[in-house]
Structure 1
């Protein structure tokens, strides 16, 4: 009989060994959501009508709960080493779901992953500090001051279909949208700040233009110094008023500095596959 738990533990040990030599200003994060660590790893935020992010049966759930615009549930890293200008980042999201039923044509369910820094963050980056946790959303208003910026990848679903959106915020702002043939289950993202490029690959669907599973592009506006702090955010939000409040779930996330990723990505994929198989049994 295969012993799954010892295998998982062994993979964790090997992963830590592979990424242990990451640059000091780069951060490694792997979370399979067997619990929600709000002491060292995450800060939770929810708007007045929404629920805080929660974990159950190894799955993260973020629920806006009510249908009014901008209701949101956010998971914000306590760590500040997620800076793609210090070293390129590989971000893996597995087991994503997003509700998309019963929406008006003017509203969307949105799930997003964001890296960046609010303008007020350099003064105090702690959860009890001066920055507003609830402003870590995909909106350029909160990232345009000196020292701030953000890059976000969003999945949006409404009655007209599903799209993937790239938000590139800094001294200027841009948003680029790509139509999808359905909701993706997994996202594989590479952000190379120094090289000025990004790539996003989807699983479970394809892009409608050409049927590819991967898009690439340039990071044109988002810019941080290599020594700057940068947070990671996972969010679910109502974009406009919706008929069905946004609910997103996720099985796991891993972020690995690319300088260590060559040996670790395959191992992470194996680890996440192991965990997902156990969760879906």
Structure 2
């Protein structure tokens, strides 16, 4: 049985105790629910991979309590510190050189010399990190390649989630951002956008004073999470940038009213927060899915990235 824990002092203490014992626990963040394990414990990290059926060559994000804890794991330069000061806590992940004395299990980095690290903003995640007192490796709390969870109920679902496969879920309510973090990596002479996400690339570029290098095509050996060509996928086929539904398709709209609409007002922030929940409800109908066009600006870039991967051949 998977325990369903309230986000109160008793629930947080129980979650911290399970993590200290090497178990894995789904936790809320502002982006999506993450499946957390002690990033220093190879057995715990292996349980994360096993619960998700996640390929072991796909690295994980290390979640830490603050920027100081991040610098104990990764090597920062002045530019990385400026990004951390501006956007942490929040939906930004940086891929940086791994410190030799970081103590991070090699499974977390998939054998790479870099580590993905972030400081989450969700108050429950922050309280748990403080109670646990160490770094947590936490990919999204869903079967690998499938639709990410934005509520505890999504995680607990035994068919589309991880119910019965993990020790517990710490219920912090719906995730306010709704898509995974933006991932940046160093790229001469500046930074590269490795994955669009909950922090708009325009905000990062405004701080840096230069454009981000574009993401490279997906490869069989990813350098950061979320780069596999097929990911975030429902069980049924999906078609994006559609003008209308074809016979037998479930329609997901944008900028219009309807039973399955990302945002009736055409707001990409609202659409990002609703994306995975709407995809799950459409998937439950068992018909192919058609999704309306979503503009690329702001969080639209992250939405379209997820839809492209959801629509990719599997």
TM-score by length of 1: 0.31
Q: Quick check: which one's helix share is greater?
A: 2
* Greater RCO (Cα-Cα under 8 Å, separation 6 or more): 1
Q: Quick check: which one's strand share is greater?
A: 1
TM-score by length of 2: 0.28
